[in-house]
Amino acid sequence: MPPVADSIPMDSRNLAASLTPELVKACDNQLHNVSWFRTDWQRGGAATATADVIDPDGITRRAVVKLPVVVRELIWTKRLSGQSGDTEPCTPAVYFCGEELGGYDLAWLVLEHLDYGPLALHWTDDCIQRIAEAAASFYVAANHFPVDQAPPAEDWRAEVKVAQKKLADHNIPDKGRWKKALKKFASRLDDFVSEWEARRVDEWIHGDLHPANAMCRADGPKVPVCLIDLAEIRPGHWIEDAIYLERLLWARPERLKSSTMKPVKALATARRRRGLSVDDDYQRLAMIRRALLAGTSIGFLKSEGSPKHLATSLEWLERSLAEI
């Protein structure tokens, strides 16, 4: 039985470099010029490389190598390779892939290289709209596959208790406002959770809809966006993707300044354009999601504890409590 990925040294780039000869062999010796790197925004333990794929006819295509990847990312990248709800595929094409390499039980991908992006590095006023269009195309493509599992559980009650404890234990700016807002939020939490858990969860969502995961095949303002990093795909409601994208920008209000730059509205519009369902009460559902995320943000001080993010989270919590 081959060793599993957990037994591999954690320095993924060293691992990847050591397995490069095996990787080349697994790609029918068509993989050349493999160069491993790590981006500033990359998370997790995967190593990434650029490479050339040269087929037997001598045709060269630029490629990206990811090793190791979680099985979910392997499955969905293969599923959506070449699929589109519009004029071109909304995720990268897969050139080679596998679930084992060099005697190790690990998944890997050799993907189409996308030449332009990510949009996080090339921000313009139409970025939100372009990402929303890509997300809607993703939903159309993913809808070819039935939802065959339950959405992941979210224990909001436990997370609120953690937030309240951390508020008591730490010197948080605007502590008095936070205490008042969290007390009111906790008193209404059961209603919020009940309404949120009653949402539709009948489609796949991207789960990591992020400007750093938005790439293009060419430069230009009208070029469709392609979504990468499919490791977080799960059953859910499109509002989760929209609020995830919006929340990343809460501390950057200049990127949400106009109606065309608001992720929830942009994604609703893009879905309607493709004949996808949009709930009549989607704005209320979005506000509930904002409340749940804002009201538990103090519980994640290590990853979300910047003063600006906490300040905007408090503003959204107070606003959502007033509007719902």
Q: What is the pTM of this model?
A: 0.90
Of 211, 216, 271, the C-alpha closest to 90 is 216
Report the pLDDT value the prediction gives residue 82, as an integer from 0 to 100: 73
299 Cβ neighbours under 8 A, 6+ residues apart: 159, 160, 162, 163, 166
Tens place of pLDDT per residue across the chain (324 aa): 333 333 334 456 788 889 999 999 999 999 999 999 866 555 556 789 999 999 999 999 999 999 999 999 999 999 999 765 555 789 999 999 999 998 889 999 999 999 999 999 988 889 999 999 999 999 999 999 999 999 999 999 999 999 999 999 999 999 999 999 999 999 999 999 999 999 999 999 999 999 999 999 999 888 999 999 999 999 999 999 999 999 999 988 888 877 668 999 999 999 999 999 999 999 999 999 999 999 999 988 777 768 899 999 999 999 999 999
Extents of the domains making up the chain: 5-112
Report the pLDDT value the prediction gives residue 2, as an integer from 0 to 100: 38
Tell me, rounded to whole angstroms, the distance of Cα 238 from its chain centroid.
12
Q: Half-sphere exposure of 206 toward its Cβ, with a 13 Å CA cutoff?
A: 31
Task: Return the SS3 of 191.
Answer: helix
Report the pLDDT value the prediction gives residue 42, as an integer from 0 to 100: 52
Report the pLDDT value the prediction gives residue 109, as an integer from 0 to 100: 97
Report the pLDDT value the prediction gives residue 305, as an integer from 0 to 100: 61
Q: Does domain 5-112 have CATH number 3.30.200?
A: yes
Report the pLDDT value the prediction gives residue 84, as an integer from 0 to 100: 55
How is 193-232 classified by DSSP, letter by letter? HHHHHTS---EEE-S---GGGEEESS-STTSPEEE---TT
Q: Give Rg (Cα) of the chain.
A: 21
β-pairing verdict for 214-216 and 225-227 = antiparallel
Tell me, rounded to whole angstroms, the distance of Cα 317 from its chain centroid.
23
CA distance 267 to 130: 10
